[in-house]
């Protein structure tokens, strides 16, 4: 672990020395939200989109936003500055603050806890990309506000653990027979050259890559449809893809031990991945 200098409540401090009170509502209730932003060569990728999602998440659970966009960006830049040459992932965490333990929001103003750290961004290797990854499926056991990037991640943690115990990279989840998302990534299928993903609603987190991939489809004449996807369609797909800040776009070639398509990363994946690298190079926002 990189013992980086992190930001905590107005102070820059080594990670190993950062402390929060045990009555922080993030610790007690998971009462907070977070963001993960990829940083390429010192520059935040899709920063404005991540900021907009952070603001939506805070508003959704009535945590007053402690900073405007400029202040957030300046804090992020401060944390990232020592690693300007490396790819990093910035983690932003905001909780409702510290109060006597009682479930409902405390009366009176609380000061939100703000924590920002950075870690090396470890992207999937070329060897992994060339082969594609394996996933398992499971029933989505999470709550009904998955659109909020909540730090209450027990459902996601248990899904990720399920994947780990199967020796695969992700658990692809279904609710009532329809695809939602994986434990920490969005899921896409390709059938007859058409890219499809579940609609943006309360059952999935709207990944920042979701919007980017929509833009990349429009710019590259690829057809995209957002619609409910039945379980069988995943197994019958020509391609299955994952997307997230840390996976970028990743091909899935095996689900529950069954081969997807011809078992190789497909042409739509290759086209989108290349377009993604182009967007990174241009650091479009």
As annotated, the active-site residues are 149
Contact indicator for 72, 49 with CB cutoff of 8 Å: no
| Distance between CA atoms of residues 136 and 234, nearest Å | 12
186 is a site residue for ligand PDD (CB under 6 A):
yes
Helix (H) or strand (E) holding 150: none
Q: Based on the number of CB atoms within 10 Å of its own CB, is 43 exposed (0-12), middle (13-18) or buried (19 or more)?
A: middle
Residue 15 CB, shortest distance to ligand PDD, in Å, is 17
Residue 245 or 255 having the CB closest to ligand PDD: 245
DSSP track, 87-137: -EEEEEEEE--B-SS-SSPPSS--PPEEEEEEEE--PPPHHHHHH-EEEEE
| Distance between CA atoms of residues 23 and 135, nearest Å | 38
State whether residue 199 is helix, strand or coil. coil
Q: Are strands 133-139 and 248-255 parallel, antiparallel or unpaired?
A: parallel
Task: Name the one range near ligand PDD by CB under 6 A: 5-13, 99-107, 225-233, 237-245.
Answer: 237-245
Residue 99 CB, shortest distance to ligand PDD, in Å, is 26
Residue 156 CB, shortest distance to ligand PDD, in Å, is 6
| Distance between CA atoms of residues 156 and 273, nearest Å | 25
**Binding footprint of ligand PDD, residue count (CB under 6 A):** 14
Residue 232 CB, shortest distance to ligand PDD, in Å, is 22
Residue 93 or 209 having the CB closest to ligand PDD: 209
Contact indicator for 210, 174 with CB cutoff of 8 Å: no
Taken in order 61, 65, 69, 73, the sign of the CA dihedral is negative
Q: Which of 95, 173, 184, 253 binds ligand PDD (CB under 6 A)?
A: 184
Residue 241 or 260 having the CB closest to ligand PDD: 241
Q: Which of 6, 36, 39, 234 binds ligand PDD (CB under 6 A)?
A: 36
Considering only residues 162 to 181 of the shown chain, the ones binding ligand PDD according to CB under 6 A are 181
**Nearest-CB residue for ligand PDD:** 207
Residue 39 CB, shortest distance to ligand PDD, in Å, is 13
Q: Which of 58, 116, 195, 245 binds ligand PDD (CB under 6 A)?
A: 245
Interaction site with ligand PDD (CB under 6 A):
36, 156, 181, 184-186, 205, 207-209, 243-246
């Amino acid at each position: 672990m990189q013992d980086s200098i992190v930001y905590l409540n107005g102070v820059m401090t080594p990670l190993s020395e950062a402390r929060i009170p045990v009555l922080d509502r993030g610790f007690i209730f998971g009462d907070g939200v977070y963001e993960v932003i990829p940083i390429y060569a010192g520059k935040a990728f899709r920063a404005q989109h991540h900021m907009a999602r952070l603001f939506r998440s805070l508003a959704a659970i009535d945590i007053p936003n402690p900073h405007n966009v400029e202040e957030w960006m300046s804090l992020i830049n401060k944390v990232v500055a020592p690693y300007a040459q490396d790819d990093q992932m910035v983690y932003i965490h905001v909780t409702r603050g510290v109060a006597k333990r009682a479930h409902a929001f405390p009366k009176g103003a609380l000061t939100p806890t703000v924590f920002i750290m950075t870690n090396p961004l470890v992207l999937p290797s070329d060897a992994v990309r060339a082969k594609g990854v394996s996933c398992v499926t499971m029933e989505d056991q999470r709550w009904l506000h998955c659109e909020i990037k909540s730090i209450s991640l027990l459902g996601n943690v248990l899904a990720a653990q399920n994947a780990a115990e199967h020796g695969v990279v992700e658990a692809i989840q279904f609710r009532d027979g329809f695809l939602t998302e994986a434990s920490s990534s969005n899921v896409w299928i390709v059938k007859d050259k058409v890219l499809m993903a579940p609609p943006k609603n309360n059952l999935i987190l709207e990944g920042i890559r979701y919007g980017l991939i929509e833009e990349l489809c429009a710019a590259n004449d690829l057809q995209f449809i957002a619609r409910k996807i039945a379980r069988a369609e995943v197994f019958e797909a020509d391609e299955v893809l994952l997307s997230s800040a840390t996976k970028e776009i990743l091909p899935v070639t095996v689900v529950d031990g069954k081969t997807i398509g011809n078992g190789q990363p497909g042409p739509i994946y290759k086209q989108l991945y290349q377009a993604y690298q182009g967007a990174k190079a241009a650091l479009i926002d």
